[in-house]
Structure 1
Amino acid sequence: MKEKTLRHRIKICLWIVITGLALSGITAFPLESELAILKDHVNPGSLMGNWIDHIYHAIKATNTRFPWLSYGTDWLAFAHLVIAVVFVGPLRDPVKNIWVIHFGMIACIGVFPLAFIAGSIRGIPFFWQLIDCSFGVIGLVPLYLCHKYIRLLEAAS
């Protein structure tokens, strides 16, 4: 594979990851508003609809009585945005910054024990734990491909 093609594929994979992290971060700020919209568009009698409605009312009540607790979610959002910026390094020099790809892959794998252990402790339904795990899988795919392309680029140099 040509170096130009490899670099293009690496950039596509990285932009998918950066965009996903940025969107995850940005959408963590207005949780109450987003859930208000979502609960009106999910079947209210379904397992998912009941869970979304339950979470919406919990966040609404919490924000009404203890708005400062959402500050923790703001920091979570900020962390997503900061991590997205870290992936700019491999955009510039993928071979030199392959460690960022390793970091991202480890983080994606780490989603699984966190979702299953903390999710069970916190009483999160199993189907929602699986949804959380899907983010690890979705992130791992472009990072794995990116890693593969960087190794090929390194070998071609």
Structure 2
Amino acid sequence: MLQPFEKLRSQTKICIWIIIIGLALSGLTAFPLETEIAYLLKHTGAFPIVLQNWLLKVYEGIKNSNIHYPFLSYGTDLLAFAHLMLAILFVGPLKDPIKNKWVVEFGIICCISIIPLALIAGNIRQIPLFWRCIDCAFGVLGIIPLLRCHINIKQMEIYTLNQKSCIL
């Protein structure tokens, strides 16, 4: 049976792996956007018409940009790279959650910050509200395992302090 500290550490690792995998998948899928959107368009029969129309518009925009202005896709390449680097950042709390709790706190700040960004910049860039809500959902869903990590780390800190005071 796991000791309280090890149980907290194990739960924290699971939550951090969820974040790492989510960031890595998000990053990897940002590279082949034109191909992915084309695939989605072929399989959108069950999607609401408003989503089908939006995906068609996105596909046409990406395809035309890639034909005439391929350098614009460099922006999404950098976005993908940033997601992969952020995934690597979470290796720190995976190894030592207490020492690297700042990474978890940073992740929480990012999850909260995506909401005003998606709502404000999305409006300026004429992104439909339903799509901005999907973007906001990444922050809402991402914060759940991060908050669990934060709570666990606080409990691990208390446990560690109690163990040190017992030794003294």
- Distance in structure 2 (CA, Å) of the matches to 1:11 and 1:122: 37
After TM superposition, the structure 1 = structure 2 runs for residues 5-154 of structure 1, keeping only pairs within 5 Å, are 5-43=7-45, 46-154=49-157
Instruction: Select the structure of larger CA radius of gyration.
Output: 2
- Distance in structure 2 (CA, Å) of the matches to 1:91 and 1:119: 33
5+ residue gaps in structure 1? none
- Distance in structure 2 (CA, Å) of the matches to 1:40 and 1:53: 10
The Cα of 1:113 is off from its aligned counterpart by 0.6
Q: What RMSD over aligned residues (CA atoms) do the two structures have, in Å?
A: 1.1
What letter matches 1:24 in structure 2?
S
5+ residue gaps in structure 2? 161-168
- Distance in structure 1 (CA, Å) of the matches to 2:9 and 2:143: 19
TM-score (structure 2 length as normaliser):
0.91
- Distance in structure 2 (CA, Å) of the matches to 1:124 and 1:10: 35
- Corresponding pairs, count: 157
Identity of aligned residues (%): 54
